[in-house]
Amino acid sequence: MNVKSKKIGIITQARMTSTRLPGKILKHVGGKTILEYHLDRLQWSNLPIYIATTTNATDDEVSNWALEHKIPCYRGSENDVLTRYYSCALENRLDVIVRVTSDCPLIDGKIIRQAVNQYITNNDSNEYLSNCLVRTFPRGFDFEIFSFELLEEAHQHATTPTQREHVTPYINQNVSGKVHIKHITRTSDNSQYRITLDTEDDFKLIRKLIEDFNCETMETQEIISLLMANPWLHEINSHIEQKKI
Which pLDDT value is given to residue 244? 66
Alpha-carbon dihedral 237, 233, 229, 210, rounded to 10 degrees: 110
Full-model pTM: 0.96
- For residue 244, the 8-state DSSP code is P
**DSSP codes of every residue in 218-239:** --HHHHHHHHHH-HHHHHHHTT
Q: Which residue has better confidence, 20 or 229?
A: 229
3-class state of residue 8 by DSSP: strand
Per-residue pLDDT tens digits for 111-166:
999 999 999 999 999 999 999 999 999 999 999 999 999 999 999 999 999 999 99
Q: Which of 58, 151, 139, 57 shows the shortest CA–CA distance to 97? A: 151
In this model, does residue 95 exceed pLDDT 80? yes
Radius of gyration of the chain (CA): 17
Question: CA distances (Å), 88 to each of 9, 62, 173, in order?
Answer: 10, 15, 23
In this model, does residue 4 exceed pLDDT 90? no
Which pLDDT value is given to residue 136? 98
Q: Give the number of other Cβ atoms within 10 Å of residue 142's Cβ.
A: 18
Which pLDDT value is given to residue 5? 74
Which pLDDT value is given to residue 39? 97
The mean pLDDT of 70-89, rounded to a whole number, is 97
Which pLDDT value is given to residue 1? 54
Alpha-carbon dihedral 116, 120, 121, 127, rounded to 10 degrees: 90
Alpha-carbon dihedral 218, 222, 224, 229, rounded to 10 degrees: -120
* Separation between Cα atoms, residue 151 and residue 190, nearest integer Å: 29
Domain spans in the chain, listed from the N-terminal domain onward: 3-197
How would residue 211 be classed by pLDDT, with cut points 50, 70 and 90? Answer: very high
Q: For residue 179, is it left (φ>0), alpha (ψ between -120 and 50) or beta?
A: beta
Question: Percent of the chain at pLDDT above 90?
Answer: 93
Q: Give the number of other Cβ atoms within 10 Å of residue 209's Cβ.
A: 23
Q: Identity (one letter) of the amino acid at 19? A: T
| Burial class of residue 85 (count of CB atoms within 10 Å of its CB; 0-12, 13-18, 19+) | buried
3-class state of residue 16 by DSSP: coil
Per-residue pLDDT tens digits for 27-76:
999 999 999 999 999 999 999 999 999 999 999 999 999 999 999 999 99
In this model, does residue 3 exceed pLDDT 90? no
The mean pLDDT of 191-209, rounded to a whole number, is 97
Looking at CATH, the fold of the domain delimited by 3-197 is given as Spore Coat Polysaccharide Biosynthesis Protein SpsA; Chain A (3.90.550)
Q: For residue 126, is it left (φ>0), alpha (ψ between -120 and 50) or beta?
A: alpha
